[in-house]
Amino acid sequence: MASPNTVIAQDLPDRDTAPKSTGDSRRWWALGIIALAQLMVVLDASIITIALPYAQVDLDISDANRQWALTAYTLLFGGLLLLGGRMADYLGRRRMFLIGLAGFAASSAMAGFAWDQMSFFGGRALQGVFAAMLAPAALSLITVTFTEHRERARAFAVYAAVSGGGAAIGLIAGGALTEYMSWRWTLLVNTPIAIIAAIGGLWLVIKDRPAKRTGGYDIPGAVTVTLGLIAIVYAFTKAAESGWGAPSTILLFVAGAALLAAFVAIEMRTTHPLLPLRIPGELNRGGAYLVAFIIPTAMFAMFLFLSYYFQNTLGETPLRAGILFLPFPIALIISAASASSLLPRFGPRPLMIAGTVSGVLGYLYLAQLDSDSTWLAHVLPSELLIALGMGLVFVSMQAVALHRIDEKDSGVASALVNTAQQVGGSVGVALLSTIVAQVFSNSSGSAMTAGADGNPVPADPAAFMAASIHSYDVAFYWGAGFMALALAVTVFMIRMNRHALGDETQNAVPVAA
C-alpha cells in the first residue's frame, strides 16, 4: 500500500490528451493496465518468500544473508522512489511507466537466471531500481486521470486492493510456481507480465504532458535520502548479527539519522526540491504518510513469519502454504470495494479508525498461536480481521495522502506514499526478524544440541516447535502495537471530513488515461 491531483485553469492539458468525457471507458481499461503493473511490483516483494528456502539451498546463501533476497529489492525501491516520482513529473508519467516496465522485465530475468548469491541479490536490487521508476508513475497516472471524487474512490479501491492484496497473492503464486516448476519462475514470470502491461500501456495510457522544469533534479537531496534510508534499514539488519549496542549498529543509526536530517535541510533551502516539504507538512497528509509507513511494518513481517509457520511448523508444501493465505487478498478486495462506497459518505477518518482497530484485534488474536492451534480456528479469523482493516485503511489513507496535490507534484507525492510503504516494510522485516531471532535464541537453549557436522539441531522437537511459535507470537504482538500506533496517528492527525474530498474537483479538468 491516494487521492486527488487536479489540473487547475492555469495548467490545462493539451486538447489532444484530454478525454472527450469523464465517462470515457478507455480510462477504466487504462486503470486495468496500471493495476497489473502495480500488482507485479507489489507481488515481487513477497513472491520470493515461499521460494526462498529453495533458492537458498540452490545458490548456497547463508542464513545471515537470506533476508537480502527481500531487503535488496524493498530497500532500493523505497530509497529511490522520490527520485523516480520527480522524474515522472519532469519526463512524463507514461514514459517512466514504460521505462520502468522494460527495466523490471530485464532485471527479473537476471535474478531468475542467477548463478550465485551475488547475481541473485544484484538482480533483486535492479528490480527495486526500476520499480522505483514504475510505481510512482503508475499511481500519479491514476491521480491525474480520475478527478471526480466518487470515480477516484473506486479507482483507488482497485489500487489499494492490488497494493494490499498483492503481497498475499505473491505468496500463493510463489507457492504454486515453486512446487510445480522452480523457484526461478517466481522471478521469470515478471517478464511476460511486463510485456503485456507495456503493450497495453502503449495503446491505452495516453501520453501526458510533463511539468515544466526550470531547475535540476536535486541530486544532493536524492543522494542523502537514499543513503540515509539504506543506513537506517541496514542498521536494523546489523543489529541481528552484532547486537543493538554494537558500535557498528550505533554508527549506522547515527549516520542514517544525520543523512535524513541533511536531506530535510537541503529541501528547505533548494530552489527545486526533490520533495517540497509542503507536501508532507500539511497535518492530514503528514498523518496519512505516517500511517502508510506504520501499516506495512507489521504486514510484511506477518507474511514472512506465517510463511515459515506454515512450512516449518505445520509442514505444509509451498503451494498449500500459499493457499492458506488466500482468504487475506479476498477479504482485502471486499473491504477495499466497500471503502470506495463508504469514503464519499463518511470521509476517511472513521474508516481509518475502524480499520486500525480491526487490525489490532487481528494481530492480538494471531499472537495466541501455540502448538495446539489450527489454521481454521486461529489463523483464518486473524487473517480476515487484519485484511478487512487493511482495505479500509489503504483506500482512505491514499485519498488523504494525495488530497489537493498540484498536478505538477503528483509524481513525487505519489512516490512518497510508496516510499513510506516500502521503507516501512523493510524496517518491519529487519526489526522483527532481529527480535524473532533473539527471542528464539533465548527460549530454545535446551531444545538444541550439536549435530554431527557441528551445527545446532533440535534435541527436543516439541520444545523446539514451542520456541519457534513463541518467537512468532512476539512478532505478532509487535504487529498489534504498530497497528495501535497507526490508530493513535489517525485519531490525532486525520481531521479531513467527507466534504473536503469533493471540494477539490469543482474547478478541475480531467486528464487523459
Return all residues near 214 (Cβ < 8 A) that are at least 6 apart.
Answer: 272
CATH 1.20.1250.20 is held by the domain 5-218+270-503: yes
pLDDT band at 15; cut points 50, 70, 90? very low
Question: pLDDT digit string (tens) for 276-324?
Answer: 888 888 889 999 999 999 998 888 778 878 888 888 888 888 778 878 8
Q: For residue 431, is pLDDT > 80?
A: yes
23: confidence class by pLDDT, cuts 50, 70, 90: very low
What does the pLDDT look like over 188-207, one tens digit per residue? 988 898 988 888 888 877 66
Residue 494 — left, alpha, or beta (φ > 0 → left; ψ -120 to 50 → alpha)? Answer: beta
Per-residue confidence (pLDDT) for residue 13, from 0 to 100: 37
Three-class SS string for 24-52?
Answer: CCHHHHHHHHHHHHHHHHHHHHHHHHHHH
Report the candidate in 479, 426, 507, 473 with the shortest Cα–Cα distance to residue 75.
426
Worst-scoring range by mean pLDDT, 12-16, 208-212, 292-296? 12-16
The structural domains of the chain, with segments of one domain joined by +, span 5-218+270-503, 219-269
195 versus 47: the higher-pLDDT residue is 195
Quote the CA–CA distance of 488 and 494 in Å, as a whole number: 10
E strand segments, 349-424: 405-406
User: Strand ranges (DSSP E) for 309-407?
Assistant: 405-406
- Give the C-alpha separation, 251 to 268, whole Å: 26
* Whether the Cβ atoms of residue 76 and residue 225 lie closer than 8 Å to each other: no
Angle in degrees, 0-180, between the axes of helices 117-143 and 68-91, rounded to the nearest 10: 40
Judged against a pLDDT cut of 80, whether residue 240 lies above it is answered with: no
Calpha distance 429→71 (Å, rounded): 8
Q: Is 411 helix (H, G, I), strand (E, B) or coil?
A: helix
Q: pTM for this one?
A: 0.76
pLDDT at position 77 is 80
pLDDT of residue 64: 67
* Residues 493 and 290: beta-carbon distance below 8 Å: yes
The span from the CA of 126 to the CA of 131, in Å, is: 8
